[in-house]
A and B are shown apart, each in its own frame.
Chain A
Amino acid sequence: MDAELILIQLFSGVALGAILVITALGLSIIFGMLGVVNFAHGALFMVGAYGGLWVASLTGSFWWGLLVAPIMIGLFGMIIEWLLVRPLYGRSVDDPLLLTFGLSYVLVEAVRIVFGNDGIPFPTPSQLTGVANLGIGYFPIYRLFVIVVVAVVLLLLWLALEKTKFGLIVRAGARDPTIMRVLGVNISKVWLLVFGVGVGLAALGGVLAGPMRTVNPEMGSLVLIEAFVVTVIGGLGSLLGSVVAGLLVGIAISMTALFAPELGTIVMFALMALILLVRPRGLFGKTA
């Protein structure tokens, strides 16, 4: 097997991993701040892909879809938090998980009603088709674009969390919401926004993934499980963990596709089982 093929597959793995990173990050942020496992995350990823497709077909431009759909679905996420998740704070940690599971059922069926059961192709925007020569081989431009977008979003997120006053409030709120309340911070508003951003990230992942596969109502369930595996490997609530584990899983999946295609997604679970045996709280999870 020649080196160039391996390199291209590795690159493809990084692009796949980038989408996993952005999706798992949304899951991890919501859990880290609110202590809620969002089971509807995969469904919202799928809604994001459909939303992007819909906006793109209305405006005739992929760029509007990429920009508007995640914001719209992020706002929808805020409604979910306000209407459904908020009444469950203070109850068992399982309750929000169960509720969002029911929500994923509803979202998948709602999309089926509106867009039908069959997959819809998501055309790659004309500016991003074709391949680019990077000196070491030819790489699909769209995948390069995905990696760049994810890198920029990660950077913005990092700056927002580490360098702004709002980021400080969010991080402090994750540590001790009661003290934040005592200090006069309206933590409910912070949680509302965090949930919205987390859901928006899932939707962004969906729009970005759209041109790399067909868009169908079932596409969220695999993504949800992949995002779970990534957060378990990386450590739930750890942002760095999501990034490292997302890339790791993306590369592992695409390398297995090259060397042992019949193993398919199984390798990802094997990786998770291995990490669990050695570090039950994940690579970057805090030890109890």
Chain B
Amino acid sequence: MTTKSVPLATPVVPAKRPSSNLIATITSWRVLLSIAILCLLPWVLPSKALAVNVLIYGVLAMGYNLLFGYTGLLSFGHAAFFGAGAYITGIAIGQFGVPWYGAVLLGVVGGGVLAFVIGGLSIRTRGIYFSMVTLALAQLVYHVGLQASSWTGGENGLRGFTVAKIDLFGVSINFLDPVNKYYILMVFAALALWFVSRVLNSPFGAAIEAIRENETRARACGYDVERTKLLSFVLSGLICALAGTMSALHLAFVPLDVLHYQTSGMIVMMTLLGGASSFFGPFVGAFAFLLMEDVFSLWTSHWQIIVGSIFILFVLFLPKGIWGTFLAKVIR
């Protein structure tokens, strides 16, 4: 460390790089920019189904990234919240006749409550234990979903809650039309984008990043680390549950697989492929993963071996993911 004294009168101004200016502009407009891209998506991608999946899994990965990328907690149990959102929405519509907006709200709140319980337990553990405990607790939820078949349909999945039209403010929209469906679900995605951006810009957003960088120091600075982690866990669970309700509305079907740990693993893969701890990363990752699934499954039913290998290469050589690596290149 060099101790070079700087005269107080002449403040040191770092030379501004032109590219960092561009990044700053993009960052301040990131929500509107993402929405603009999402608006174009169904017309650019080969199928509307792929576009809807990018929406759903993009929101899912983004919610997950709040915890993984920004708080630095590697959860392997986020399928539980995605699944809870989907199941609660389906059960509310199919078995209780709740209108769609009530069912979405119930699904999101239910996922949040589940996140509070699982988060409360798993945050007591540290480091590598956290991943194992979240995985085990999510697997518990999977077994509950399997056993409570009178509610969830067990292994056959949940059916019989098709939402044919969306009524809002006296307007009735045909929800079975793929374009309408996409833009209605996009409204949810836009809300989630705005919400996450808002959270990241708030003092709370700075606090979770402080915990990720150095937990001991954050604690010494006076942050209540446990409460902040739990809140981050719950917020992340809420957004993943929203993705679950979107998936239920889209498919009019909830397969038991949504709760399986393979789903949790897929969320982790998407987030890492795109780039954790960046705003656009999870969406890019979800898009890349779904595109790979689409392309490789045409060649072989064993497409997972290719995706798995690509994932291994990313962990080894591109840990920042597609978007994170791109950002690092541009900023430099």
Contacts and interface: CB of A to CB of B under 8 A. Distances in A.
Contacts of A288: 126
A103 B312 contact: yes
Given A113-B302, A228-B135, A84 B143 contact: no
Given A95-B319, A264-B147, A229 B305 contact: no
Given A93-B128, A109-B302, A236-B128, A229 B136 contact: yes
A159 interface: no
Contacts of A98: 74, 268, 272, 311, 315
Contacts, number: 114
A7 B125 CA distance: 36
Q: How large is the interface on A (under 10, 10 to 19, 20 to 34, 35 or more residues)?
A: 35 or more
B153 interface: no
Given A103-B312, A105-B311, A280-B125, A225 B139 contact: yes
Interface in A254-288: 262-266, 269-270, 272-273, 276-277, 280-281, 288
A283 to B, nearest CB: 13
A272 B136 contact: yes
A103 to B, nearest CB: 6
Nearest to B74: A94
B312 to A, nearest CB: 4
Given A262-B147, A266-B144, A276 B312 contact: no
A97 B265 contact: no
B146 to A, nearest CB: 8
- Grouping DSSP codes into helix (H, G, I), strand (E, B) and loop, the B interface class, with mixed when no group exceeds half, is helix
A20 interface: no
Nearest to B305: A109
B124 A276 contact: yes
Nearest to A106: B308
Contact of B316 (A88, A93, A273): A88
B263 interface: no
A281 to B, nearest CB: 8
Nearest to B310: A102
Given A113-B302, A269-B140, 9 more contacts: A84-B312, A102-B315, A109-B308, A225-B139, A232-B125, A232-B132, A232-B133, A262-B147, A273-B121
Interface of B: 74, 121-122, 124-129, 131-133, 135-137, 139-140, 143-144, 147, 261-262, 265, 268-269, 272, 302, 304-305, 307-309, 311-312, 315-316, 319
